[in-house]
Amino acid sequence: MRNGQTKYTNILGIEEFRTAVARYSAEVKGLRYDPRAEIQAVDGATMGLFLALKTVVGPGDEVIIPSPFFTSYDAEVMLCGADVITVPLRAQHHMQLNADDIERAITPRTKAVILNSPGNPSGAVTPAEELRRIAAVCIRHDIWAISDEVYHPYVFGSAANPVVPSAQANPVVPPPQEAALTAAMPAAPSIAGIPGMKERTIVVESLSKTFAMTGWRIGYLLAPDAVIEQTAKIAELMHSSVNATAQYGAVAALTGPRDHIESMRRHYDHNRSIVLNALRETNGLNAIDPQGAFYAFVDIRRTGMDSETFSTRLLHDEHVAVVPGNAFGAVGEGFIRLSYAGDTQELTEAMMRLRRFAATHTPPVFARHTRAFHPVEMMA
């Protein structure tokens, strides 16, 4: 700001930002995009999602959304005049995206499917093999994949496999800066990396989660040049350009050391174990182990309360805040979402209070019996 870099920028974003995004995407995700025409800066992932939808769908079209889903997905589809078709995420599939369920929902009006892995609110990470099956469905039916990947570095256990970047050179992107030469970090697989999918995928990304830059409102789109040409036109009419200072800050984040990302991932994984251990010892509450992000989606139906009642009473009685599952679509009824991104000591206290609340409100028929949890019981 002191250097006067506060003026309007190219609607696609400053060159330094787009180059940094291209380099980061290649190194971390193994995805290669041309910063001159296939990358656009956006005011956070929510704006990016809307621009993507506005470009590829219109009135009368249908968009498939696996449910439960992030709260803005359905509203943004409706703002484009399209119809929402929800597909339940199933516990027998560990809340991961499923190609067969998506294909059954496709009609002649289907234009796109929104994918989110790692997922919010479930924390599910869809494996590469299933993404390949989903890719085959998209290609077979000629539909777009809009892939929300804002939690991509936060994967745990068997899902935490480092990406091996392609050896293919990209003459547009300069060699990595010395500061960025760190060990390969884990990342969830992207459907855009599957052969035949780059040309029909719009990747929606943000620095909010990866770099803890929520208030900066800075993200980006990765998409074919024909799509970026249209998203840029819409964005220019909406806001002229993305905040210049945020873009320069994002360049520093994307090209700097990444040790903090691994530190956050380890912190979230540690907190995740606290949540899961507490839930395993709690009658009346169940959850599928989240493989990514920093959320747990917890089945509270044995308490006899609906999501709103449970969440409200938990807040009133124990001063613990959770999100009722029906905030993420009707399929989420009977669940709550926990976040374990915060302070470990506070989380430990919160889980103790949650266990106490659940023990008080679980009917005796469930409280007397502790048995292994079978995911198929959660959702049909």
Same domain, 172 and 321: no
Last residue of a domain, one of 195, 226, 257: 257
Tell me the pLDDT tens digit for each residue of 225-273.
Answer: 999 999 999 999 999 999 999 999 999 999 999 999 999 999 999 999 9
Which pTM was predicted?
0.90
Q: What is the CATH number of the domain that holds 183?
A: 3.40.640.10
- As given in the structure block, the two tokens for residue 63 are 């968009």
Same domain, 342 and 293: yes
Collapsing DSSP states into helix, strand and coil, what is residue 217?
coil
- Number of domains the chain is built from: 2
219 bridge partner residues: 42, 206
Last residue of a domain, one of 257, 275, 292: 257
What is the arrangement of strands in the sheet containing 39-42, beginning at the earlier edge strand? 39-42, 219-222, 201-206, 144-148, 110-116, 62-67, 83-88
Low-confidence ranges of the chain (pLDDT < 50): 162, 164-171, 174-183, 368-380
Instruction: Note whether residue 90 is domain-resident.
Output: yes
Phi, psi of 312 (to 5 degrees): -70, -45
Residues in the chain: 380
Instruction: Note whether residue 7 is domain-resident.
Output: no
Residue 365: what pLDDT?
56
Q: What is the CATH number of the domain that holds 318?
A: 3.90.1150.10
Same domain, 293 and 253: no
Which domain, by its residues, includes 123?
15-257
35, 223 contact by CB (below 8 A):
no
Collapsing DSSP states into helix, strand and coil, what is residue 87?
strand
Same domain, 206 and 118: yes
Same domain, 288 and 164: no
How many angstroms separate the CA atoms of 122 and 264, rounded? 19
Residue 178: what pLDDT?
34
Same domain, 24 and 44: yes
Q: How many CB atoms lie within 10 A of CB 280?
A: 14
Same domain, 215 and 313: no
Instruction: Note whether residue 197 is domain-resident.
Output: yes
Instruction: Note whether residue 272 is domain-resident.
Output: yes
Same domain, 66 and 135: yes
Last residue of a domain, one of 240, 257, 274: 257
Residue 91: what pLDDT?
83
